[in-house]
Amino acid sequence: MQEEMPVFKSKTMQEPGMKKRLWKSLKQIQTTERNLFGNTSTAVIYSSINAPPSFKPPKKYSDMSGLLASYSCPQSKIYYHNSEEYKIVKKMPSDISKGYLTLRGATSLV
């Protein structure tokens, strides 16, 4: 006697009688909400929800390699990951270090 293995999922990967779930893009959600609620500022919609500020400090990444940076140069304020990058930062001219800071969005006080 050969036992039949239990079937956990139907062959169509959905329960009989259930409709297939259609996913909406963000643009479709915003358009639907705009049509339902109009341009009222009192309605709470998907795009009007603001997240509270984070209690965790922001992560710092190396300006040169993109790795997690544990250190920053005290003179140029450039973030670096290890001692090899620090050697490069120390030899770097000031105009290039300012370029790295502007790419990161930090203001240069030098």
Give the pLDDT confidence of 30-61 residue by residue, as tens digits. 888 778 877 666 666 766 667 778 889 989 99
**Residue 55 DSSP symbol:** S
- Closest CA relative to residue 77, chosen from 109, 46, 38: 109
Q: Which two tokens stand for residue 23?
A: 């996913």
Over 60-107, what HEC string results? CECCCCCCECCEECCCCCCEECCHHHHHHHHHCCHHHHHHHHHHHCCC
What's the structural domain count of the chain? 2
| 64-73: Cβ within 8 A, 24+ apart | 64/88, 64/89, 64/100
Same domain, 45 and 74: no
pLDDT at 4: 64
Does residue 16 lie within any of the structural domains? no
Single-letter residue type at 58: P
Mean predicted confidence (pLDDT) in 15-24:
69
Give me the domain span that covers residue 31.
24-49
2 in any annotated domain: no
pLDDT recorded at residue 32: 84
45 falls within a domain: yes
Instruction: Determine, yes or no, domain membership for 3.
Output: no
Residue 11, pLDDT > 70, answer no
> Looking at per-residue confidence, does 66 or 39 come out higher?
66
> DSSP state, 58?
P
Q: Does any domain span residue 1?
A: no
83 domain residue, yes or no? yes
